[in-house]
A and B are shown apart, each in its own frame.
Chain A
Amino acid sequence: MSAPLLVLHGLVAGYGDVPVLHGVDLTVESGELVALVGSNGAGKTTLLRAVSRLLKSGGEIRFGGTDIAAREPEAVFGLGLVQVPEGRQLFPRMSVEENLLMGAYRRRDRAAIGASLAQSFDLFPVLAARRRQMAGSLSGGEQQMCAIARALMAAPRLLMIDEMSLGLAPIIVDRLLDVLVKIRGQGVTILLVEQDVFAALSVADRGYVLEHGRIVRAASAAELKSDPALQRAYLGAEDAP
């Protein structure tokens, strides 16, 4: 097997004087769907912000063999590392179609961009119906679809999705998870960062559990799902408060 697509080694990050991540090790192989799970405040979003270089950090970040720890966000994006940020972060006063086109901002081939647009609308028919509507006026689920579609327009090598399920009805989450499986089938590597532990593990190959800024468990998704300690902690089984 070739070198892993993403390698984090001893990643340290925080806000001001407050450290959040205390030396995180994590790898994502090409073609995998990896879940990073943990409760609110564990440092998941901080990790994504550090990887996409919106946040300064210490330690090693390698993407496709290149050290990106000193790069700017735009440069990292140019390498194919694309993030669907927490809270969707759409351009609210731009149409759905314009939001998607912004995903393809760095691409110049009009024909290929058109093909990607058609593919996105194929994946999310509701977006096709609302292509002229302002993104800010979409429902939460539609906004998340728009955000994922925008990321796909960038032709990512690694798609990182932050808190996809946040604020969405379970039925919408299931539908989005199905789409992720489909996207992975098309050859896109995915790092899914989720508070909804069992939703994420239901589609992932492997999972990492982040607690208080440290990786406390790393195993296959199947193994993690059946882990009684994890079930207790995140499903609120027997001894939950």
Chain B
Amino acid sequence: MLFAQILVDGVLLGGLYGLMALGMALVWGVLNIVNLAHGAFIMLGGYVVYFLFVAGLDPFAALPIAMLALFALGYVIQRGLLNLIVRSALLNTLLFTFGLNVVLTYLAQLLFSADFRTINPSYAGANVTLAGVTVPLAWLAAFLVAVLLAGLLQLLLDRSRLGRAIRATAQNLDAARLYGVDPRQIYAVTFGIGAALAGTAGGLYGLVAQITPYIGATLTAKSFVIAIIGGLENPLLVILGGIVIGLAEALASLYLGPTYSDVISFGLLVLILVLRPARSLKLA
């Protein structure tokens, strides 16, 4: 039973991991930017939902607000700053987003203090037990939101005019420009969507774990690994990549002890960087 429980926990948490990585994979694939501030966006989304919850709003009702707020932030950052260096050497965008991560982290510390925060609605402890396996409802809801958003992103990319333009820009920038696509606009919208997805993931993260200003770096690294596993073109595959990591972590904590769960994603990160450095930087 314990084994089945671990599997369920791993899958549910993995779905949320996948949502965290989704925005990073999208931005990476389209803009060729590895956004080191991605985890900071997740953190900020967590705070938006936390404070709305403290003000009396249900966390799931607060998610769309966090989404919009982070979309706006991402759009403005890309339009105003990142667009200036987006097609220059990879090092420039790495440095920029690294700096952005530092700024956002310490702004959060200044504004929100370093206290641990948890989003704790009345139903936080609610769960259902199926065949001896306990399913926490908040986790299940987070998982469903992740899959839903990945599905919506997939639909947007596959079926809409905007989605076609985003994919076209990713696949052949010159040709996209030749056919009237304004890459600055597409980049800003794409970066905004990436930030919005991160913000939503942050709100859900606050339901299942604690938020501090410093969670960003770990979550960026985790998202990076998942993006590499899931690839950059297919949102549902990214969710699957998240589930792989979620399961691996859950199994590691079962067989090696809970202390080792982070070893999995960071171990994979090191392995990937050692074995396939070219692939990890030229995925797009």
Residues of A contacting B174 with CB < 8 Å?
54, 85, 89
Among A54, A90, A101, contact of B177 (Cβ-Cβ < 8 Å): A54
A92 interface hit (Cβ, 8 Å): yes
Q: Is the CB of A105 within 8 A of B172?
A: no
Are B179 and A103 closer than 8 Å at their CB atoms? Answer: yes
B174-194 vs A, Cβ < 8 Å mask (1 yes, 0 no): 111111111000000000000
Residue A102 contacts which of B168, B182, B233 (CB distance < 8 angstroms)? B168
Q: What's the Cα separation between A145 and B61 when bound, in Å?
A: 50
CB distance from A36 to the nearest CB of B (A): 18
B179's partner among A92, A93, A150 (CB-CB below 8 A) is A150
Q: Is B109 an interface residue (CB 8 A)?
A: no
What residues on B are CB-neighbors of A154 within 8 Å?
A: 179-180
Say yes or no: A77-B178 contact (C-beta < 8 A), given A94-B164, A102-B164, A102-B165: yes
**Chain A 57-99, CB within 8 Å of chain B: the 1/0 string?**
0000000000000000110011000110100011111100010
How distant is the Cα of A103 from the Cα of B171 in the complex, in angstroms? 15
Q: In the complex, are the beta carbons of A105 and B181 less than 8 A apart?
A: yes
Q: Is A52 an interface residue (CB 8 A)?
A: yes
B171 and A105 form a contact (CB under 8 A):
no
B180 is contacted by which of A77, A85, A94, A98 (Cβ under 8 Å)?
A77
Minimum distance in angstroms from A32 CB to a CB of chain B: 22
Chain A CB within 8 A of B161 CB: yes
Asked whether any CB of chain B lies closer than 8 Å to the CB of A106, the reply is yes
Once the chains bind, are A105 and B177 in contact (CB under 8 Å)?
Answer: no
Q: Are the C-beta atoms of A77 and B179 separated by less than 8 Å?
A: yes
Partner of B167, one of A90, A94, A150: A94
**Least CB distance, A132 to chain B, in whole angstroms:** 12
Contact between B164 and A101 (Cβ–Cβ < 8 Å)? yes
Give the complex CA separation of A91 and B165 in angstroms.
Answer: 10
Chain A residue at minimum C-beta to C-beta distance from B175: A89
Q: CA A52 – CA B161 in complex, angstroms?
A: 23
Do A73 and B171 touch across chains, with their CB atoms under 8 A apart? no
Other A-B pairs, 12, CB within 8 Å; known A73-B177, A102-B176: A74-B181, A77-B177, A77-B180, A89-B175, A90-B175, A91-B172, A92-B171, A94-B164, A94-B167, A101-B164, A105-B180, A106-B179
User: What 3 A-B pairs come out closest when comparing CB atoms?
Assistant: A106-B180, A89-B175, A77-B180
Task: List residues of chain B with CB under 8 Å of any chain A CB.
Answer: 161, 164-165, 167-168, 171-172, 174-182, 233
Q: List 24 A-B contacts (CB under 8 A).
A: A54-B178, A73-B178, A74-B177, A82-B179, A83-B178, A90-B172, A91-B167, A91-B168, A91-B176, A92-B171, A92-B172, A93-B167, A93-B233, A94-B164, A94-B168, A101-B161, A101-B164, A102-B165, A102-B179, A105-B164, A105-B165, A105-B179, A106-B179, A154-B180
